[in-house]
Amino acid sequence: MLDPSFLFAQSLSGLTAAMFLFLIASGLSLVFGVLRVLNFAHGTFYMLGAYSAYQIVLWIGPGPGTFWVAALGAALGIAVLGGLIERLLFRHLYGKEELYHLLFTYALVLILSDAAKILWGTQQKSVSRPPGLAGAFTLFGVTVPYYNLFILLLGPAIALGFWFMLQRTRVGRFIRAAALDRETLGTLGVNVSGLYTGVFVLASFLGGLGGALVTPVRTIVPGMDTEIIVEAFVVVVIGGLGSFWGTFLGALIYGQVLSFGILLFPRFSIFSVFALMAAVLILRPWGLLGRPLK
Amino acid sequence: MTAPPLLAVEEIYTSYGLSQVLFGVSLEVAAGECVCLLGRNGVGKTTTMRTIMGLTPPGRGRVRWKGQDIAGRPPHRIARLGIGFVPEDRRIFAELTVGENLDVARRGAGGRWTEDRVFELFPKLRELRDRQGGVLSGGEQQMLTIARTLMGNPELLLLDEPSEGLAPLVVHHLGEQIGRLKREGLTILLAEQNVDFSLALADRVYVVEKGRIRFQGTARAFREDESIRQQYLAL
Ligand SMILES: Nc1ncnc2c1ncn2[C@@H]1O[C@H](COP(=O)(O)OP(=O)(O)OP(=O)(O)O)[C@@H](O)[C@H]1O
Ligand SMILES: [Mg+2]
């Protein structure tokens, strides 16, 4: 059982899962950090990204570029959907009690998941890997699909790009300032409500992209929205809500704990993750890299 | 017909929820003037400035900028018209560096204020450029909050109690810098409780009490009328 190549395979699969989790959880964390709304519908954007990618693949038909067009198209579609939801609905929530956030975003989860069932039924759907990345290679006796390698490289690339945007660009400075003091940023001439929309669109894009990119490795089923939102929530709680690298770290830890937890508690692998979350909440309630609320 | 004043506040009534704070405040600021709003704690000086800035829009009344009514517009639009607000509680972005605090407010390319120019006015800030805003002392934060607002190249500066909570020496220094801004032609509306600090800068004075203007006149007229000071400003 402690065969090194088996352990390597487990840790690699945990790492791949972590990259998807990071894509989803970073948007959840960004929206919470800046807009101060915990968006339970964020997992629904992920699910809709997956269904949209499936739909676009159906429309275009097989071809070398089909998957990539579908993934990008799905992410953009979800970004637009997110923008509309923010403009028309979300903005009435800012500054209100958390209970309203919870009720509203939960209602959104129910409505959108029913809409998805109407559009795509309840049968499982799947999308095949893009032809260019269909193969696999062997590393330390483990077969690694090229597609997984792509995800392993894409995750850190997106994390670095995201970090660069937040730290080194003017828009990033606006976003960080808005997270600290929305009112003051407005008096300095910055259109904060437009900025909020932009942040929400970006988060929705990442969620939709995560859903689209997961389709070659996971089947698309109703319920994948609530499953991922719980996981993403655990990730941000472990890493620290609103903390960028905390989210990345949280995703890495989650992925590893989940894939090795299977070895310890084969039938309750999720248990080890919740045990970890409980431990973090007891020892560092603000998360590993988060900061205590003032 | 003479040109309208730069800013004219006309009979504004402002409330926070059910508690009414301003009862028909009117005031004017002409281009190039330094006008001071004096009054004790809680009389409505900050609320007047927040109303001008669009942060707490008035229930009734008008705020005219160059003759045009701007009441009800969102703060970022009002800022872009050329009104800069320096809040009493400074509101530095604690986790942004001094340089980033300034950059966020940069506006009006080609205007007279650049990072270099505000560092000339407040040389201390240059040394602190890469320091996080949250670790600055009270006096340094006060300089930064003024510098930050200047980065937007405003025509009118609303300065809310800049002297509050600062040591006498720092207040003196700050007064000199605000005087320099005034001499360079910036129009200033200053809210203060510190009478001596204000009189060193103000051309005209409004005294506020319980949300109403009780006196208006030149700084000289105010200085000569000891009874006003006794009635509305003594503790
Ligand atoms: N957000 C708020 N909600 C409710 N009441 C408020 C709020 N802000 C101020 N007030 C009340 O409005 C009144 C005027 O306050 P304001 O801050 O305008 O006074 P001020 O003249 O600036 O006082 P200070 O010199 O202490 O800064 C006070 O009675 C205050 O308690
Ligand atoms: Mg005040």
Ordered by start, the domain boundaries in chain B are 1-82+192-235
Q: pLDDT by residue (tens digit) across B119-139?
A: 999 999 999 999 999 999 999
CA distance B126 to chain A (A): 19
Indicate the residue of A176, A186, A189 with minimum beta-carbon distance to B96. A176
Report the candidate in A9, A148, A133, A151 with the shortest Cα–Cα distance to residue A64. Answer: A133
Please tell me the distance from the alpha carbon of residue A6 to that of residue A9, in angstroms, as a whole number.
5
- pLDDT category at B213 given cuts 50, 70, 90 is very high
Please tell me the distance from the alpha carbon of residue A184 to that of residue B55, in angstroms, as a whole number.
10
- pLDDT category at B1 given cuts 50, 70, 90 is low
| Tokens representing residue B102 in the block | 């300034």
pLDDT of residue B116: 95
A186 Cα to the center of ligand 1, angstroms? 20
Please tell me the distance from the alpha carbon of residue A95 to that of residue A106, in angstroms, as a whole number.
18
Query: Does A257 fall in a domain?
Result: no
- Residue B85 exposure: Cα atoms within 13 Å on the Cβ side: 28
Cβ distance of B104 and A188 shorter than 8 Å = yes
pLDDT of residue A286: 87
Please tell me the distance from the alpha carbon of residue A152 to that of residue B37, in angstroms, as a whole number.
61
Q: pLDDT by residue (tens digit) across B86-100?
A: 999 999 999 999 999
pLDDT of residue A148: 95
Q: Looking at per-residue confidence, does A10 or B144 come out higher?
A: B144
> Which position has the token pair 């800030």?
B125
Residue B202 has pLDDT above 90, yes or no: yes
Indicate the residue of B53, B94, B104 with minimum beta-carbon distance to A173. B104
> What is the pairing mode between strands B7-16 and B19-29?
antiparallel
- Cβ of B44 less than 6 Å from ligand 1: yes
Domain range for A163 is 13-221
Query: What average pLDDT score do residues B41-48 get?
Result: 95
Residue B55 in contact with partner chain A when CB distance is under 8 A: yes
First to last CA, chain B: 43
Fold for the domain defined by B1-82+192-235:
Rossmann fold (3.40.50)
Query: Does A95 fall in a domain?
Result: yes
Q: What is the 3-state secondary structure (H, E, C) of chain A?
A: CCCHHHHHHHHHHHHHHHHHHHHHHHHHHHHHHHHCCCCCCHHHHHHHHHHHHHHHHHHHCCCCCHHHHHHHHHHHHHHHHHHHHHHHCHHHCCCCCHHHHHHHHHHHHHHHHHHHHHHHCCCCECCCCCHHHCCEEEECCEEEEHHHHHHHHHHHHHHHHHHHHHHHCHHHHHHHHHHHCHHHHHHCCCCHHHHHHHHHHHHHHHHHHHHHHHCCCCCECCCHHHHHHHHHHHHHHHHCCCCHHHHHHHHHHHHHHHHHHHHHCCCCHHHHHHHHHHHHHHHCCCCCCCCCCC
Going by alpha carbons, the residue nearest to atom 30 of ligand 1 is B42
pLDDT over 70 for what percent of chain B? Answer: 99
Longest dimension (CA), chain A: 62
Phi, psi of B157 (to 5 degrees): -110, 125
Residue B226 has pLDDT above 90, yes or no: no
Please tell me the distance from the alpha carbon of residue A146 to that of residue B149, in angstroms, as a whole number.
52
Q: pLDDT by residue (tens digit) across A57-81?
A: 999 998 889 999 999 999 999 999 9
Q: pLDDT by residue (tens digit) across A200-212?
A: 999 999 999 999 9
What amino acid is encoded at A160 in this protein?
L
Query: What global pTM score does this model have?
Result: 0.93
Please tell me the distance from the alpha carbon of residue A23 to that of residue A29, in angstroms, as a whole number.
10
- State the burial class of residue A136 (Cβ atoms within 10 Å of its Cβ: 0-12, 13-18, 19+): middle
**Into how many domains does chain A fold?**
1
> What is the pairing mode between strands A136-139 and A142-145?
antiparallel
Going by alpha carbons, the residue nearest to atom 4 of ligand 1 is B16
- Per-10-residue mean pLDDT for chain A, 294 residues long? 82 94 95 92 97 96 92 98 95 90 94 95 93 90 93 96 95 96 97 96 98 96 94 92 89 91 76 86 87 66
pLDDT of residue A293: 63
Q: CA torsion, points B163, B191, A188, A80, in degrees to nearest 10?
A: 120
Cβ distance of B75 and A183 shorter than 8 Å = yes
Cβ distance of B96 and A177 shorter than 8 Å = yes
Please tell me the distance from the alpha carbon of residue B22 to that of residue A143, in angstroms, as a whole number.
74
Please tell me the distance from the alpha carbon of residue A147 to that of residue B9, in angstroms, as a whole number.
65
Nearest chain B residue (CA) to A189:
B76
DSSP B205: E
Q: What is the 3-state secondary structure (H, E, C) of B18-51?
A: CEEEEEEEEEEECCCCEEEEECCCCCCHHHHHHH
Report the candidate in B67, B82, B14 with the shortest Cα–Cα distance to residue B45. Answer: B14
Q: Treating both helix axes as pointing N-terminal to C-terminal, what angle do A192-214 and A42-60 enclose, rounded to 10 degrees? A: 60
CB pairs under 8 A between A and B: 60
Please tell me the distance from the alpha carbon of residue B203 to that of residue B125, in angstroms, as a whole number.
29
Of B43, B190, B213, B235, best ligand 1 pocket probe by most atoms within 8 Å of the beta carbon = B43
- pLDDT category at B25 given cuts 50, 70, 90 is very high
| SS3 of residue B14 by DSSP | strand
- Cβ of B164 less than 6 Å from ligand 1: no
